[in-house]
Amino acid sequence: MPPPSIPMPSGPTAIRATRLIFLLSGIAMSAWAPMVPYAKTRLGLDDAQLGLLLLAFGGGSMVSMPFVGWLSHRFGNRRVIVTCGLLLSLALPALATASHVITLLVALLYFGVMLGAVDVAMNAHAVEVERMERRVLMSGFHGLFSVGGLAGAAGMSAMLALGVPLMASSVVVTALIVVIVLTQRSGLLPGVARDDVKDSVFRVPGLLVILLGMLCFVSFLAEGSMLDWSAVFLRDFRGFTAAGAGIGYACFSVAMAAGRLTGDQVVQRIGPEWAVRGGALLAATGFLLAAGIAWPGASLFGFVLIGLGASNIVPVMFSAAGHMPGASPAISIATVTTLGYAGLLSGPALIGFISHGSSLPMALGTVSGMLMLVAGAARIVRPRQEKTA
């Protein structure tokens, strides 16, 4: 039962609050990107040193996610979102002022832990809202995360370009995070542990949850390959200048945001299985088009197809994990998210390894083949009968 001071929110109120928390998460994560060059210069880091330090962010998220899944199941998603959201707000100022490598390392670990905690809890909360409303909502929620990602990076970059000091810019984003958390707290569902599931953090997840996580691994790997390799590919193989090569990732990002914002209607119309199968095949086609046709326009169109195709794969899989019969949504989503983040972290290195042994177009073609495997395994997201307490 929710605390007496916070009544149970209505469906529309819970939907709005969930959307804003996803927006918050996207803003917080992407606001760090424009700060990276400042940290590199301030500490005198070379590329290798910076790369190793940046692993702390993803590592912190991965380490915390299984435990946070148990916390969300045990104490409710609202408490985790509010507590970790407020703690998350402290991370950006810490990153803006870190004056030593160890300080930056600790700040990145802290940032990763808190952002990972919000990530797991907000997705578990989204499943609760879907269950309450009895309709598909997950893709739209993730669409707001994508919008937040674009807004956070653009907003922080704009402030810095206008001459606003780095610390002051980070405080502006921090204040926004705090305002969103505090104003939306009453709109979040309390989240009560269900009687039909065990709440042990040490419980081994079911085989279906593990398989969902492996498919998310591939989808996150595809997204990571766009983030880290699209600009390099366009510069080295399609004749783009270094300054203009970023347009590839922009095409991908805008297409993904558009696909997610319209994704709920798509999933409702064709079903989750075909949303994953069709999306994976579309993204695979995009990789083949970009890698196989030596024309810049074809590559950019391929990146658009990748964004549209991949847009709803992860939301549908998170929703499927959260609705697994007899399993805690929070713990299942924590498992799937952890495996997905493993793909996001290891994907760029895997692409680099394959590229070193052959070529970057061949490596991107390999991602296409992996996405075809996702399409073949799409049956796993078929709705299953949930047990009720």
DSSP string for 208-225: HHHHHHHHHHHHHHHHHH
User: Residues 54-90: pLDDT tens digits?
Assistant: 778 878 888 888 788 788 878 888 999 999 999 999 9
Nearest of 242, 206, 214, 234 to residue 302 by alpha carbon: 234
Average pLDDT over residues 268-284: 95
The whole-number average pLDDT for the span 179-196 is 79
Tell me if 180 sits within 8 A of 20, measured CB to CB. yes
- Distance of alpha carbon 89 from alpha carbon 172, whole angstroms: 10
Give the integer Cα–Cα distance in Å for 258 and 280. Answer: 16
Banded model confidence at residue 179, pLDDT cuts 50, 70, 90: very high
This prediction has a pTM of: 0.82
Any alpha helices (H) in the chain, and if so which ranges?
Answer: 11-31, 36-43, 47-75, 77-88, 91-97, 101-133, 138-161, 166-184, 207-237, 247-261, 263-270, 272-292, 296-310, 313-322, 329-357, 360-376
CA 303 to chain centre: 18
pLDDT at 376: 94
CA 41 centroid distance within chain: 28
- The reported pLDDT for the residue numbered 155 is 87
Compute the distance between CA of residue 197 and CA of residue 93 in angstroms, rounded to an integer. 40
Calculate helix-pair angle for 101-133, 138-161, nearest 10 degrees.
150
Sign of the alpha-carbon torsion through 164, 168, 172, 177: positive
Stated as kind and residue range, the H or E segment containing 187 is: none
Domains located in the chain, CATH noted: 11-185 (1.20.1250.20), 207-381 (1.20.1250.20)
Residues 6+ positions from 85 with CB-CB distance below 8 Å: 21, 24, 118, 177, 180, 181
DSSP 245: T
pLDDT at 164 over 70: yes
Q: In the predicted model, is pLDDT for residue 197 greater than 80?
A: no
Interatomic CA distance for residues 192 and 380, integer angstroms: 27
15, 137 contact by CB (below 8 A): yes
For 296-339, the pLDDT digits (tens) are 899 999 999 999 999 999 999 988 888 887 777 778 888 888 88
Tell which residue, 378, 375, 367, 217, has the closest CA to residue 302: 367
Q: Answer with the residue of higher pLDDT: 142 or 389.
A: 142
Confidence of residue 202 (pLDDT cuts 50, 70, 90): very low
Whether the predicted pLDDT of 201 surpasses 70:
no
Percentage of residues of the chain with pLDDT beyond 90: 45
Residue 1 has pLDDT above 70, yes or no: no
- Could you tell me which residue, 45 or 112, shows the higher pLDDT? 112
Question: Is the per-residue pLDDT at 199 higher than 60?
Answer: no
Label residue 192 exposed, middle or buried (CB < 10 Å: 0-12, 13-18, 19+): middle
Helices 272-292 + 296-310 axis angle, to 10: 160
Q: What confidence category does residue 154 fall into, taking pLDDT thresholds of 50, 70 and 90? A: confident
CA distance 40 to 140: 35
pLDDT of residue 5: 55
Mean pLDDT of 262-284: 94
